[in-house]
A and B are shown apart, each in its own frame.
Chain A
Amino acid sequence: MNRRTIGVLVGLAIADLLASLWIGQQAYTWMPPQASAESVLVDNLFSFMTTLGSFIFLGVMGTLLYAILFQRAAKYDASDGPNIEGNVKLEVVWTTIPILLVIWIATVSYQTYDRMSILGPMEPLPMGMATAEAAPTDRAASVTSPPIQVFARQWAWEFHYPEAGVRSTELHLPVNQRAQLVLSSEDVLHGFFVPAFRVKQDVVPGREINFEFTPIREGRYRLRDSEYSGTYFAANQTNVVVESSEDYQDWLAMAAARSPFPAENVAFEAFNQTDASAIGLGWKTVEPAPAPLVNFASSEEDTYE
């Protein structure tokens, strides 16, 4: 290779790198708002992987496109290309680099997961060691205690605040405190998924799963069922409200003072309508559980981010 070729190659690599860094920055804008400590970690990881991925994608596609444009056989040229069967040096290079890259990605991912510690600290930590970084430093003092009970069923979400004696179909959480939930299902698999928090956990019938994360931004966000749960799966959504500590306490007190009433429930209402209309263009379905009786209900009219 002469100096000029090397110069051109280095120039192309730098151009590829700059383009990838730019795409990596764009990656943040493809995501929902960052409403939890975990979302910051996940977005950084995603941006990092997007940068690396773009570098490889652009590099390989650029090479291919160059070959397609400039290395075509002339119309009547029936000869073969050079008889190159391989190149050990090159093959060692392109085996080693991907190995190093995936080790790098896996290590960053491991650290990210460890910091999120959404199922609690991964290993029981020895006393005195720092706990997850995403959790506020003064962990014990700032958790929502006792944990909020999350009940998933076909097809409703219900949140139970045992201390305040509140039942709600809208999840309220105080900002900047470690939210602790216990997920359980009364029938089939469901998935607890809040895109703005970047966290997700399947809810498994017959188990109670402890789940935690830290909301960091006030607002109303969407909570979706993410594990397919049958006929009205798509409608099994509700809202999460993140609010200041005072607003949260006020809300608990306000809700506790109200007597229970049946919540708005898309699945139950839609089922009763189709049942009444009897056009019968669908198949027989599992019947939705009746609308939950709660002190506070979310509304599908509410806006969210």
Chain B
Amino acid sequence: MSNATLEAVSPSLQPQPGAPDNWRRFFSFSTDHKVIGIQYIVTAFIFFLFGGLLAMVMRGELITPEADLVDRTVYNGLFTMHGTIMLFMWTFPMLNGLANYLVPLQIGARDMAFPRLNAAAFWMVPVFGVILTLSFFVPGGPSQSGWWAYPPVSLQNPTGNLINGQSLWLLAVALSGVSSIMGAVNIVTTIFRMRAPGMGWFKMPAFCWTVLSAQMIQLVGLPALTAGAVTLLLDLTVGTSFFNPELGGDPVLYQHFFWFYSHPAVYVIILPIFGVFSEIFPVYARKPLFGYRVVAVSSLIITGLSLIVWVHHMFASGTPGWMRMLFMFTTMAISVPTGIKVFAWVATIWGGKLRLNTAMLFALGGLSTFLFAGITGIMLASAPFDIHVNNTYFVVGHFHYVINGAVVMGFYAAIYHWFPKMTGRMYYEGLGKLHCALTFIGINLIFLPMHPLGLMGMPRRVASYDPEFAFWNVLASLGGFLLGVSTLPFILNMLSSWAQGKQAPDNPWRAIGLEWLVSSPPPHENFEQLPIVVSAPYGYGSDEPLVANDPAHKPTHDLTEGVSP
């Protein structure tokens, strides 16, 4: 096993991360995985705020039944770009940021397998981010066909221009796919090839298991999405007829392409957050992760099953009855490994010695919203019920409970938990708890009302609606504005803590894990000597050491020699 990165990078050319005065490194083509991780997270968060702003305009429109705040075309552009930005510019880059920062530290590597590929994958993000943003300013406005871009609506091009919102959108999505594939190759290789001596599969932290499972989905699924996007782009620009019914194409075929990737994509999103939960609960409950091996392996089972459930997004589409029933059963099956994880976290927390720091509170909030979303998810898996609520606000409620509930709260939990490691500073608990309370209330206030709305029959993607839906929509809009406000204490906390927070010790939470054995922030190349791992990752309540050496200091004799194969 090679200890250095698989690609040779001359260390002297690299700005030294960890040097607090060296903020310029965040604007450079740095190949340090920690710099890239933070670059991803900060870039993604800026787009999160942008996507959130679009959502607040939408909630402003929806606070009254009539389409009165913005034109209908503008509303349609808003929800399309909101969904697109939140997925491709926020969620995926944010998760790549967490994986980039944490995986090498947690597996005891000095960097990713391919540092330059890593940097290139990151720098594509601002490129397609700019393309998406510019599409607001082309004639005809940005894409208005929803984040699914279903043809034939996505092929209708009212301006007749070659460069239009939809073609820019497809270009950006294709680039995002390429960037994600580059990231996935890198992360999977890193986890396979660069684990520290002694770190067998069942000594690897659960977060790395989930990242591995998620990135393997990317490798299998993204080619389908990219193929779908490219063929649709051809239909749109050069008039091929893959999906255009007027020319004999089949619009339902596109839906299969799209969901074959985009269902697994939801697991690409949630799996690393499962990993975050599995890391955080043991630390703040002071107990080992309950059933660690089962939790680890269930991620891989989810990966496998996630590839055979996509038609549950098409229960009301042009699909025959037998297909609906078949995919109903596979979808039901995928909730079993998911349920196992939830029970394992509860058992981890149960009987522990809980410390309700901001990170723990966010993780608990994320777990509870996930539980709710999992239950509505199983309801949606039931085809005859889904036929009623498909394409209504019930579905919107379901997936926002997962993505804005579990994923965003899980992200915040991760940021608070690893903030001292990333920056070398402590954050302010009071502001953190305020942030947590506002977020949790905001999320429930905006997304809970969407469930009764969907049951009553309010379709999603509407700029106007019948007056009987007004009551719940007003509540949801108020929740939306509250959620917008809730980001302020977070931003304030992060900026001021990073600038002048208390100096963080190496391991402020007394957590077990390789990343906590090195200084905060970790030095360039992380470990003075590669750790020799001798225990499973969650030894709370036992005295067994995690490693056989002190990875933060140079050895007197190089212990790793002769250990690595």
Interface residues, chain A, CB within 8 Å of chain B? Answer: 30-32, 41-42, 45-46, 49-50, 53, 56-57, 60-61, 63-64, 67-68, 71-73, 77-87, 90-91, 94-95, 98-99, 102-103, 105-106, 109-110, 112-113, 116-119, 122-123, 187-189, 191, 193, 195-196, 198-202, 204-207, 209, 222, 224-235, 237, 270, 274, 281-287
Proximity bits, B455-471, A CB within 8 Å = 1, else 0: 11101111111100000
B377 to chain A, nearest CB (A): 10
The smallest C-beta distance from A131 to any residue of chain B, in angstroms, reads 14
Given the contacts A72-B356, A98-B335, A189-B153, A234 and B141 also touching, CB distance less than 8 Å:
no
Chain B 338-391 interface residues, beta-carbon cutoff 8 Å to A: 339-340, 342-344, 346-347, 349-356, 364, 367-368, 371-372, 375-376, 378-379, 382-385, 387-388, 390-391
Considering only CB atoms, which chain A residue lies closest to B287 in the complex?
A: A81
In the complex, the answer to whether B321 meets A113 with C-beta atoms within 8 Å is: yes
Are A286 and B459 in contact, CB atoms less than 8 angstroms apart? no
Which of B9-17, B68-76, B210-218 has 4 or more CB atoms under 8 Å from chain A?
Answer: B68-76
Given A45-B385, A53-B379, A188-B152, answer yes or no on A32-B332 (Cβ-Cβ < 8 Å): no
CB of A71 within 8 A of CB of B353, answer yes
Q: Given the known A-B contacts A102-B332, A281-B74, A286-B156, are A226 and B391 also in contact in the complex, defined by CB atoms under 8 Å?
A: yes
A35 → chain B, closest Cβ, in Å?
Answer: 12
A25 CB, nearest partner CB in chain B, Å: 15
The 6 nearest A-B residue pairs measured at CB:
A195-B457, A282-B71, A83-B541, A206-B245, A283-B141, A234-B462
Residues of B within 8 A of A237 (CB): 466
CA distance A286 to B140 in the complex (A): 10
B288 touches A85 (CB 8 A): yes
Q: Which listed residue (A63, A82, A207) contacts B541, Cβ 8 A?
A: A82
Residue of A nearest to B324 (CB): A113
In chain B, residues 474-512, which have Cβ atoms closer than 8 Å to a Cβ of chain A? Answer: 510
- Which residue of A has the minimal Cβ distance to B544? A83
Chain A residues positioned under 8 Å from B540 (CB to CB) = 80-81, 83
Of A81, A102, A229, A237, chain B has the most CB atoms within 10 Å of the CB of: A81
CA distance A61 to B367 in the complex (A): 10
Question: B251 at the A/B interface (Cβ < 8 Å)?
Answer: yes
When chains A and B are docked, how far (Å) is the Cα of A200 from the Cα of B394?
14
Partner-binding segment picked from B92-100, B180-188, B290-298, B545-553? B290-298
CB of B290 within 8 A of CB of A283, answer: no
Binds A, one of B189-197, B223-231, B312-320: B312-320
Q: CA of A207 to CA of B248 in the docked complex: distance in angstroms?
A: 11
| Nearest chain B CB to A199 CB, angstrom units | 6
Q: Hey, what's the 0/1 contact readout for B238-264 against A, CB within 8 Å counting as 1?
A: 000000011010111000000000000
Verify A53–B375 contact, CB threshold 8 A.
yes
Q: Contact: A68 with B356, CB < 8 Å?
A: yes
Pick the contact of A81 from B76, B139, B353, B539 — CB < 8 Å? B353
